[in-house]
Amino acid sequence: MIPKLIEETEKAYLRSELPDFAIGDTVTVQVRIIEGDKERVQPFSGVVIARRGRGTTETFTVRRIVNNEGVERIFPVHSPKLHAINVVRKGKVRRAKLFFLRDRVGKARRLRERRPGRAAGKRKVEANDETEGDELQP
């Protein structure tokens, strides 16, 4: 009873216009910053190394390198301070968390790119596969 009540209450605060992004993707997060009476949008670009939680408490961690120093920032997914999330590049990874990137330097930090239309385990259907069970009639 209580979890359903919480879900119903949280629905009003969930954002629906978010892009589909995953671990390993390079994203640019547009963050609203208020300085005095002025408001501006500041981009933060990097690789998504973690995603956790669900509902309004869902967060993701973005890591980038600034002046040869790693900088990580944790963003709430449904925060009103996020102006936009743009996916720059899709990364091909096999892990749920990419904390090993903290120890990598230089080219070892790069991830392979996931290309659209290529699914794992897909193979070409050859002409022989379609007629495999048919027998030749004399």
Residue-wise pLDDT for 103-119, tens only, equals: 988 888 888 988 877 66
| CATH number of the domain to which 54 belongs | 2.30.30.790
Structurally, the chain folds into a number of domains equal to: 1
What is the C-alpha separation between 72 and 61, in angstroms, rounded? 7
Concatenating the DSSP letter of every residue in 65-106 gives EETTEEEEEEEETT-TTEEEEEEEE-EE-S-S--GGGGS--G
Is 43 among the domain residues? Answer: yes
In a domain, 87, yes or no: yes
pLDDT value, residue 103:
92
Domain span holding position 29 = 21-106
Is position 58 within any domain?
Answer: yes
pTM (predicted TM-score): 0.77
Quick check: is 78 in a domain?
A: yes
Q: Which of 22, 112, 19, 111 is nearest to 30 (CA)?
A: 19
Query: From the centroid of its chain, how far is CA 92?
Result: 11
The answer to whether residue 131 is domain-embedded is: no
